[in-house]
Amino acid sequence: MTTVTDLQSLQGKLVLVKSARDRRNPPSAMRGWLEVYENAGTRPDVGVAVEFPQMFKLPAHRRTFRLDRAELEKLFSTECNGAFTFTVDEELL
């Protein structure tokens, strides 16, 4: 069971964000970080934030993937030396 204090300590931790649809060899990934969002009177929400640089046809932008409890537990299982790995089911755009 994860406590509120445990969740708050995640703020800013590094995350390697990968796409399950990436078929390149080797696959690519983006560097992201964890953000913890306080909720009055309830457990904080946790999200993985990623900033995408400006590309030829796409402006620079930021995406945040909010994690449900199952995704959060899966994220915890990937921890290695204080960093995490998160895989999304969609393209990283």
Whether 93 maps to a domain, the answer reads no
Asked whether residue 40 is domain-assigned, the answer is yes
Considering the domain boundaries, does residue 17 fall inside one? yes
In a domain, 91, yes or no: no
Residue 5: predicted pLDDT: 67
**Domain with 10 in it:** 4-86
Q: pTM here? A: 0.84
Q: What is the pLDDT of residues 34-89, one digit of tens each?
A: 999 988 888 899 999 999 888 888 888 999 999 999 999 999 999 999 999 999 99
Nearest to 1 by CA among 72, 50, 67, 49: 72
* pLDDT for res 4: 65
87, two tokens: 């895989």
d(CA 19, CA 90) in angstroms, rounded, equals 6
Omega before residue 26 within 30° of 0, cis = yes
